[in-house]
Amino acid sequence: MLRTLTLSTALALGLGSGAAMAAGEGHVEDFAFPFEGPFGSYDQMQLQRGLQIYTEVCSACHGLKHVAFRTLSDEGGPALPEDQMRAYAEFYEVYDATLFDGEGDFRPATPADHFPASSLAIAPDLSLMAKARAGFHGPYGTGLSQLINGMGGPEYIASLLNGYAEEPDCALEGEPMEGYYNTVFTAGGYPDACKDENGAHTVPGSWIAMAQPLYGDDVDFADGHSTELHSEAQDVAAFLMWTAEPKLVARKQAGLTGVIFLTVLAVLLYLTNKRLWAPHKNKRKD
């Protein structure tokens, strides 16, 4: 997703959340995504905007190796027309080992191919990042909020992209820190000058080696939607949620169908028991 990366970048969007939280506290904003809740679903236009941001900004370093181009036309996803999906796939080149009598060569991608992997070895693949990275923690986060809204991976990604800030005054007192100050990222470097006498952090977040990727007005949307930083971050985070769980809506529908079926079955069993067996339960034997 980002143009400048080092090893700390992998930690920023890493699979584990425990190590990150141990480094300090970072504020994760609770974004109002349309797919949240038991009846939520993806916003097709938002996913298309997120795809555009990924293509123009994120794909320079990061890949989506678990996502097939054909899924861009799926209902419930970006739902690109088939001709647009095929044209989009041809924008990429993939290596085909079967070409030229087994010598291999690059060819334009087809709908059956997957997005390329990350172009940098230290750049994490983003296919499953929104599911791998938890954003909500603590008694409230692991309870009601995660039950209703999920793990909070999209919120973490969007908050991280919005979390870049000027270095606090305490960081200017000691040795200069490498990287960029981010109020959400908690697994990076942290200066001793920003710790109190007990070693506790006095400012949220930490320093990340990843340069700020989005500033607002980074892309031009055909639908005229806002290109403010907050909006762009939310759009690309929603798209990464879809790449991580493209069948979210189908899963919710299946779950709702199962609940309804079990409820009806429970009522029928109760009525059956009451009609057939209840009259005989307390009947005294002669």
Is residue 278's pLDDT more than 80? no
Per-domain residue ranges for the chain? 7-67+115-246, 247-286
Distances (CA, A) of 109 to 82, 112, 206: 14, 8, 40
Q: pLDDT tens digits, residue range 59-82?
A: 998 999 999 999 999 998 999 999
Q: In sequence order, which residues have a C-beta less than 8 Å from that of residue 9 and are 6 or more positions away?
A: 2, 122, 123, 124, 208, 209, 210
pLDDT band, residue 162 (cuts 50/70/90): very high
Is residue 4's pLDDT more than 50? no
Q: pLDDT tens digits, residue range 28-66?
A: 898 999 998 888 899 999 999 999 999 999 999 899 999
Q: pLDDT tens digits, residue range 211-252?
A: 899 999 999 999 899 999 999 999 999 999 999 999 988 888
| Distance between CA atoms of residues 35 and 237, nearest Å | 12
Look up residue 185 and give its two tokens: 């990222």
Reduced to 3 states (helix: H, G, I; strand: E, B; else coil), residue 261 is helix
Percent of the chain with pLDDT over 70: 83
Q: pLDDT tens digits, residue range 119-153?
A: 888 888 999 999 888 766 655 444 565 565 566 89
Q: In sequence order, which residues have a C-beta less than 8 Å from that of residue 64 and are 6 or more positions away?
A: 54, 114, 115, 125, 126, 127, 243
Please compute the mean of the pLDDT values over residues 154-171 and round it to a whole number.
94
The CATH number assigned to the domain with range 7-67+115-246 reads: 1.10.760.10
| Distance between CA atoms of residues 141 and 146, nearest Å | 6
Q: Are 178 and 207 in contact (CB under 8 A)?
A: yes
Q: pLDDT tens digits, residue range 84-130?
A: 999 999 999 988 877 777 777 888 999 999 999 998 888 889 999 99
| Distance between CA atoms of residues 239 and 247, nearest Å | 13
Tell me if the pTM is above 0.95.
Answer: no
pLDDT band, residue 9 (cuts 50/70/90): very low
